[in-house]
Structures are given as C-alpha cells and as structure tokens.
Chains A and B, each alone.
Chain A
Amino acid sequence: MNKKYDAIIIGAGVIGCPIAYELSKMGYKTLNVDKLPDAGEGSTAGSCAIVRAHYSTADGVAMAYEGFKYWLDWENYLDNVKDEKGLARYMNTGSFLLKSQGHDWKKVKKNYDEVGVQYEELDNDKIKEMVPVADLHEYWPVRRPEDPKFYDEPTKEIEGAIFCPEGGYVNDPALSAHNIMRAAEAKGAEFMFNAEVVDIRSDNGKVAGITLKDGTQIDAGIVVNVGGPHSFKINKMADGVWEGCNIKTKSLRHEVMYCPSPDGYDYLNDGYHMSDGDIGCYVRPEVGNTFLIGSEDPDCDPQQWVDPDDFYAGKGGNGKDNVLTDAQWKAQCYRLGKRIPSLQVPNQPKGVVDLYDCSDDWIPVYDKSDLPGFYMAIGTSGNQYKNAPVVGRMMAELIDACEKGLDHDKEPLQYKFKYTDRSTDVGFFSRKREINYNSSFSVNG
C-alpha cells in the first residue's frame, strides 16, 4: 500500500515551504519531497534575498509590497514556531532605485503611485549625503571590461534616484525556508529529504502521485511542481503538462559577487540596497562588510542556459559549471567600481554561482496545468524570493478553489491580498499567456 497524502509538493525551497504551510492551515495533509538534504539548500540558498518593491507592472509592485508585511512580521507569520536553527532576519536598509536609462523608472513611479508605495525622489546631492562613497556619473550603456569603451570617461551625471524607506534583504534565505518548514510542520505538514522525483503518475486523466528514484511510490490527488531550476524536467514527467504550457521555463546560470567594502565605509551597517541600472548591477550588504553584487543581465553579458543536473554536479566546463568565472568577476566588480571609485577589487573571485528558474518573459507561472490535480509555482526568474509568503497563500487558495470546481482558465481566480487593499488577477501568471512584453525581461521583474 502506497502512502497517501492530499497534496505532494515537489521542492522544499522558499516557495515550496509556504505552499505547504498554507495548505496545511486549510486542513490539507501535505508532503514536501526534496532531493537535497534539507529545506532551502537548492537555488533558495543562492538567492540574494532582496526585498524591494520596484517592478515593471503594477501587479508586480503590489505583490512585492504585500510581501514586505510578511517579512516585517516574521515571527507572527510563522505563528511563533520555534526553530532550533534560529530565525532568519529581515534587514530593512531602505532601497535606492537610481534614475538611469537602464530602468524604466518612470513606469515604476507610476506603479508606486497606483499601489501606494512610500517613496521620495532624491537629487544627487542628497544621494551623496546618504552614500558618501558614490560617484553619480552616468556610465550608460552597460559594457564589459573586454570592450575598450568600458573605460571611456563619463560626461554627465544621472538624474537622481527614487528612494523607498521600505526595502532591504533577508540575511539567510536558506534559514527562512527552514523556518517556514518548521511552521508548516507545526500545522501537520510532512517533509521528506534526499528524495528525488523521477515520475509523476496519472490515472484516468488525473494526477495520481509520484515515484521516487528509489522506487517508492506516494499517492496524492494534488501534486505541485515547485522544483526551482528543475521545474521544466518535472513538468515533462507529467502527462500533457509541458505541452499545455505556452510559457516554458529553463535554467539560467548566474554569478553573484562578494567584494569587500572600501576602507572606512561600513556598508553592512550604514549601507542601502541599491538597484543601479546605469551599471547593470544591484547591491546589498553582507556579513564581513561586503558588497553582494548581482547582475541585471545587461544585453552585453552572454546568457548561459544550462542543464541543472549537470550544473550542480559541476560538469560542463568553464562557464557552464558552478564555478565563478574571472571575466564575470571583473565585469560585475569593475562596474560597481565605477559607481564606488574607492572599491578595492581582490584578484580572487569570491561569490556564489547558482541558477534562476527562468520563464520566457521573466514573469512566474503560478497556475494549474492541463493535467487535473497538477499545479505549478515556477519560472520565478530570480525575482520572487521576496514574494514567497504571498505566493504560498495565493497558490494554496488557487489549488483549493480549483479542487472545489473553479475553472481557473476560463474565470481566473482573483486573489485578495491580506495586508494591501487590492486584489490581483491570478490569470496574470497563466501558463497559457502570450509573452508579456510589458515585462522588463530581467531580474527586475
């Protein structure tokens, strides 16, 4: 006799855990399966865990702004569960969005106004007061150090910045997933690790359960794909699912650099999250008084699509495997070095290489599938960590509504936010949508 659950959630990362948590609160008996040894050890652990509200669509902004409230109220969100590893902490640094040609900041401003996000517009003098180490010249367009024009002298300054007092990062993303797991377990959820899914079974045109690598079969009438960079492989295991998606996902390799802060600048305590489209970078502080430097994927940077299993196994060779490249180290650090001229760049690359589960338009797919009972929360494209608690609740409501008969494709669920006075059309995240050209097609979302 196979073990049976109401719902099996594939993946115990920062999206998979809140889905389990919310479904459990609704009375579902859930099981998360994850091929790694613990919650949040996959791509969640590589996340920069930045919490900020600037998205290219009003819905995107609204969801991110809603997400804040969860991070700010973390203990209560977790219903005061005890985690033996301690709790992750949200560090509210405040967030700069530099006005540059790299960001449609005017659209962001409009979205902020619509949703009611608090912000200030700052001139360059004010920015320099707050960030004394900054050089505010315009360095657009973004180039690579191999390009001789990378070294051109700038001629003018940027126009200022939009500053949100609400914004920052979570200090330990893997721990945050672990916290949510403990909260879910307190509501009856179960978790199984070192368990790799190799097949998704269906019966009579409905999902019936999963099969693990060791042959174990587990049954459930609901299966949710939250497999991160492995999401496309999982979708292909289920009958008709992959084919029924117009928006596909694949894994994109990303490097994030860790560079020490200049002498005399306490970035860890005095610094801000900064989104700098002018140099194609975003930064936030990290322990060790370090700048964590992420890339906004400027056009001049080659995109590396990889097989996630090969990648995590360290196969594929230079530039395909999970080792930092010197070329990208220099690209990201020198770009930041333009904005912060006193930044000293070590010779040895240091940082994290991981994968985004990227959708065709960099907007997630939060949807059911063509196989009844099979759902997906995928295509997070490097920009959904901050929304995790919201997505957990939204997916739980979507699953519940669909299981109770809602024809979500015809009449998309309208999800009402818990904190923000607004609803969002979940159809926005449909697997069947046409590519959304309003998207920024980047990690900015």
Chain B
Amino acid sequence: MQLYVCIKHVPDSAAHISIVDKTHIDENLTFLLNPYDEHAITEAVRIKESLPGVEIIAVCLGKNDADKTLRSALAMGVDRGILITSDKRHDSIETAQALKSAIEQDGTPDLIFTGKESIDAEGMQTMFRIGALFDFPVATNVVRVDIEADRAVVDSALSGGIVNTYELSLPCVLGAGRGLNTPRYPTFPDVVKSKKKPIKKIMFKELNINVSLAGMNIVELEPLLQSREPKEITGDAGEIAETIIRILKDGAKVI
C-alpha cells in the first residue's frame, strides 16, 4: 500500500513576521513542518504499523531548504521523501497540480494525506484540488480514520461538536485535523535512523504542468499592526457585560 503525505515547509507560528517589499515576508526565521501535517504523518505511521506492506512517501513543494521539513517527516516515520523544488510562491491550484504530478510519476497512491490547512496561506483547499485531479473522493478536518479493505471510514469535524461520518472508497484524499491524534515526535535514535532515508529532488518545471488560466496572486501583504490604546469599560456588572458583548459583536466581530 502506498501512502502519500503532502507536507509544507512553513514559518513557525510563534515567529515574528515582518514584511519585505510589501509582498513577501522576511524569511529569516524558523521554518518547520506544518503542524497539521504532523497529525497526517502520525496517522500514516499508525496505519503502517497496523497493516502489512505499507510504504509512506512524503511529498513537498518548496525551496531547497524545505529539505529540512522532509527530514522532520522522515524522522517521524515516513519512508522516503520527494522535494519538488521551486523558488517561486505557488497558489493552491499550481501546488495541487505539482503534487499530483509528482505522486503520479512516483507510484500508485492508495491513500493521500494532507494537513487540513497550512498555517501560512490558510487556503484549506489543496486536498480537494488533488482529489479532483485524481478523481478521488476527499474529506477534510478528519479526526478519526478507519481503513477497511478498500475503503476508509472517517469522522470529519464541523464546528459546534458536530461530526459527519463519511465512507470514502480507496484511493481517497484526507485532510488531517488536530483532533486526529497526538503527533509522535522523533527521538534522537529515530533521527539517526532517518538520516539514511532518501529524498528525491525534482524541479517544478520538470513536471510539465499545464499552466492554468485560473490563479490567486498576492498583490500586497501588510502587517496587522497592534498599537493598543486602552479604553476603560465602566458601569455595574450587567452594564459592563453588555458593553463587552457589543465590542465582541461590532468591534471584534466574533459573535
């Protein structure tokens, strides 16, 4: 069984983000494996441990230093990695095409995992595009996966505690949610073992992707500035509570 996990090399969520040229971030900070992809990899490893003959391949589209994120994936139990190198920023449409093409070239996927979203672009859609290109069924924010013979039964979480249970035929594409498992991080012996695992590098332009007429391009990036000017909320408890609700509704727009 060939399990592919699509992973992304992203800035640490705790990193301070500064903007360069109004369109890019200053990349002089820690990049690491997208946190949701950690859940995807951990699930793939769990499946591998419960079934015979499973191979896990991580695929990543990124610059050369995304190699580091593939190394993290290998240390977490992935068998081998594929890095599609590109210096450009690609939108989800191009990313899905690249990942699909690389997977197709490499083998025959029985199951493709991704994280439910990347913490930088937060597009939440690449897994669906991969599914459409392959004509495979897709589910996202998956918090439980059961593999049976030729299908996967999954719980896909909506908000408010509502969970949809879907049955997808294999091969399928699944976007891992945070509740799926607790990521199993590598020990130092795992890191040592993984150093021998191979990473194949292909260039984006070698993949012969049909340029799509559709696209999403970042034309500007601005920092979200936080200069705080504290304002007091006064009144009795009830009045204060009302004011807070108004602020949450009209100011922060969270209710």
Contacts and interface: CB of A to CB of B under 8 A. Distances in A.
Q: Are A and B bound to each other?
A: yes
Size band of the interface chain B makes with A: 20 to 34
A317 B186 CA distance: 29
Interface string B62-87: 00000000001000000000000000
A290 interface: no
Interface stretch (B30-38, B219-227, B247-255): B30-38
Contacts of A344: 184-187
Nearest to B72: A347
B246 interface: no
A337 B188 contact: yes
B41 to A, nearest CB: 10
B12 A343 contact: no
Contacts of A192: none
A342 B187 contact: yes
B187 A345 contact: yes
Residue with the highest number of chain B CB atoms closer than 10 Å, among A262, A321, A346, A348: A348
A318 B185 contact: no
Interface string A146-177: 00000100000000000000000000000000
Given A151-B195, A323-B29, A324-B30, A349 B12 contact: yes
- The interface residues of chain B, by DSSP majority, are classed as loop
Contacts of A349: 12, 14, 30
Given A151-B195, A317-B28, A347 B33 contact: yes
Size band of the interface chain A makes with B: 20 to 34
Interface string A396-418: 00000000000000000000000
A317 B15 CA distance: 12
Contacts of A347: 32-33, 35, 38, 72, 185
B52 interface: no
Contacts of A326: 12, 30-32
A104 to B, nearest CB: 27
Given A314-B16, A318-B28, A343-B187, A348 B192 contact: no
Contacts of B143: none
A318 B15 CA distance: 10
Contacts of B184: 344
A318 B18 CA distance: 12
Contacts of A323: 14-16, 29-30
A341 interface: yes
A71 interface: no
Contacts of B185: 344-347
A80 B13 CA distance: 44
B186 A345 contact: yes
A334 interface: yes
8 contacts: A151-B195, A323-B29, A323-B30, A326-B12, A326-B32, A334-B191, A343-B187, A344-B186
Interface of A: 151, 262, 314, 317-318, 321, 323-326, 334, 337-338, 341-349
Q: Which 7 residue pairs spanning A and B have beta carbons closest together?
A: A337-B188, A344-B185, A326-B30, A318-B28, A347-B32, A346-B185, A347-B33
